[in-house]
Amino acid sequence: MRPSGVRRWYALAAAGAAVLSSPYWLPKSLVGLRVKVFEKVNGPEGVVVPNDQVGPERFAELYAHPAASGRSKGAGLSDLFWYWLSPGPEVHQEHLEPGPRYDAVARTTSTILAGTSAELSAAAARCAARVLEEKVPGGPGRRAALVRLRDLMMPVWAEFFHEMVFHEPCPPDARRLIVDNAEDVVNSLKNTRLRHMRRRARLTRYLLRRLAAGEVPHDLPAELATPRDRAHYLQGTFFNTAVVQMSEAMAHLLLVLAQHQDVQQRLADHPGDDRDLGNVMNETLRLFPLFGIAHRITDADIDLGDGVGYPAGTVLCFDYPAYHATGYTDPEVFDPGRWDRLSAKDAHHIPFGIAANRPCPAWRLSPLVMRAVTREVLGRYTLHSSVSHTRSIPHRAPCLLVPRDRPLSRPRRSAALAALRVRDRWEDVGRSTLQFVLGTWMVVDARRQRLTRAWFAGHDTQGRPLPDAPSPAAPPPRTAQTPPVPTAPPPAGPPPAGPPPACPYHHGG
Ligand code: HEM
């Protein structure tokens, strides 16, 4: 063979090897590149905690500091979250600045989420049973079904939170609207899809209609001035955050069970063992906390003593996975039994945030209803999966559900799991490329729209219009991505300091 022919064969072999090995290097490289792009667009870092000055032992002290209280104003990072959680990010509880408006909204959320353990568990079990029977029916002749656990869980929580808000069963068309909305939000947060604001607006219209008809049996805060504000509050808190968080939490929990057959068997054999299931949930949320980072903007100087402090206006990014990985023996190991020896109260374990600083309002409800739904699932199926398991879980947790009374033979199960593993690795290649492209697009678009800065240029922290607000300028050109929110222009001057690269992943990534 001529030297040029040999060179061509070498080049072809190298290209082939690069393609074939791409599942092992491309996704990781693209995630790194995406983080760099986010950093470039958003500007310099905030302060990620724990760090050299504030170690894990002082993490909670800083998080609980009264001056670590700002939520949206003054962080470039907030533009991104407002963009993803639109429409109505300015009235989402998560984004409200402290004050009477926040207090009223937080009180209302707690009231809507209230209920006895028995009522809440029964409602969750009922919704799960209905959805499972519809999506993965049992009965003669039924075989294993391949599902994505997050997709399977979405309608369960759509129905459940519809019942909590409206005190009546969820009609199929309302469930579709809620699931479409929640999926759109979480997919855009994870950069696997762009936002579809028309889809989200359809749910807003449904809520507006029900509010106008007097069909919401709760007193909504007078501080939410317009019907649209009230519709956006319900949409953001119950049909976006609640549905997304519960579906993600259940996807993690069920995937863990699918990959730890001994634990799954134990729980299925002893469905009444609350302690064991509690340990498994604690360990799952320790290893896979739903929040990667929660941020606060300091509204006054913080002095922790020993020369450690942060000036007012600092963006503090509390890194949950890093904190959860400290203070444990073999923190990377999934070991539910460790919770027999530890108390969640004393450990570095904050899956629902910290009590002193805006904890999750569903910290009591969530574990309760997750137990009920887990029992419904385990009562019907055995779960099996060979896919990767990361905190951001962008693959939506592919899993094989096998009817408990019709087990698969071992060779068939092994073959199915081998095929699932291969598919997962290759999907990861395509998805990480897509996430890179869409993530870049959305970060740039959010930066262009600057929703937070535009809002606070025209409103005080309690949502009241400022008397000397600049007159509204022409909004940025409309795209399918542009939400119908704040119209005031951003103030002049340099953009605010942006987030650290990890911050955009606070819900998922
Ligand atoms: C297992 C499920 C859930 C987990 C692990 C979870 C986790 C969290 C965490 C860690 C925070 C605090 C972040 C921070 O400090 O900024 C939070 C806040 C919040 N969560 Fe949850 N959550 C879950 C379910 C829910 C549900 C079902 C709702 C329903 C309404 C909800 C609504 C909220 C709201 C409104 C906030 C903002 C609280 C505030 O700023 O006052 N979450 N969640």
62-110 per-position pLDDT tens digit: 999 999 999 999 988 899 999 999 999 999 999 999 999 999 999 999 9
Q: What percent of the chain has pLDDT over 90?
A: 78
- pLDDT tens digit string along 456-478? 999 999 999 998 776 554 444 43
Task: Please give the distance, rounded to the nearest whole angstrom, from the Cα atom of residue 180 to the centre of ligand 1.
Answer: 21
Q: Is 106's C-beta closer than 6 angstroms to any atom of ligand 1?
A: yes
pLDDT of 147 over the 90 cut: yes
Mean pLDDT value across residues 362-371: 98
- With cut-offs at 50, 70 and 90, classify the pLDDT of residue 368: very high
From 77, 93, 237, 245, mutation site for ligand 1 pocket: most ligand atoms within 8 A of C-beta: 245
CATH assignment at residue 121: 1.10.630.10
**What spacing in Å lies between the alpha carbon of 44 and ligand 1's midpoint?**
27
Distance 94 CA to ligand 1 centre (A): 8
| pLDDT for res 497 | 31
Question: Which has the closest alpha carbon to 36: 391, 508, 504, 496?
Answer: 504
3-state helix, strand, coil in the chain (%, to 5): 55, 5, 40
Query: What are the backbone angles phi and psi of residue 296, rounded to the nearest 5°?
Result: -135, 155
Structure tokens at 162: 């519809």
57 domain-assigned: yes
Residue 478 lies in a domain: no
Instruction: Please state the rounded mean pLDDT for residues 430-447.
Output: 93
The whole-model pTM stands at: 0.89
Let me know if residue 100 belongs to a domain: yes
Q: Which of 38-47, 105-114, 375-384 has the weakest average pLDDT?
A: 38-47
Least confident of 172-186, 207-221, 491-505: 491-505
Task: Provide the domain count of the chain.
Answer: 1
Binned at pLDDT 50, 70 and 90, residue 28 comes out as: low
Q: What is the pLDDT of residue 139?
A: 65
Amino acid 129: pLDDT: 97
Is 238 close to ligand 1, i.e. is its CB under 6 Å away?
yes
Does ligand 1 have an atom closer than 6 angstroms to the CB of 93?
yes
- Domain holding 405, by residue range, is 21-335+344-464
- pLDDT exceeds cutoff 80 at 450: yes
Answer whether residue 404 is part of any domain: yes
Question: Which pLDDT band holds residue 425 (cuts at 50, 70, 90)?
Answer: very high
Residue written as token pair 């968080």: 245
Residue 284 Cβ contacting ligand 1 at under 6 Å: no
Write out the two tokens for 211. 């509010």
Higher confidence at residue 226 or residue 22?
Answer: 226
Residue 497: inside a domain? no
Residue of 360, 366, 373 to mutate, ligand 1, most atoms within 8 A of C-beta: 360
Q: Point out the ligand 1 atom lying closest to the alpha carbon of residue 359.
A: 12
Instruction: Give dist(CA 423, CA 443) in Å, integer.
Output: 29
Give CA separation, 176 vs 130, 171, 179, 288, 448, in Å.
Answer: 15, 9, 5, 28, 31
Q: Does 252 map to a domain?
A: yes
Name residue 502's beta-bridge partners. none
| Residue 181 within a domain | yes
Residue 141 lies in a domain: yes
Taking the CA of residue 246 as reference, the ligand 1 atom at the shortest distance is 2
The mean pLDDT of the chain is: 88
Residue 40 pLDDT exceeds 90: no
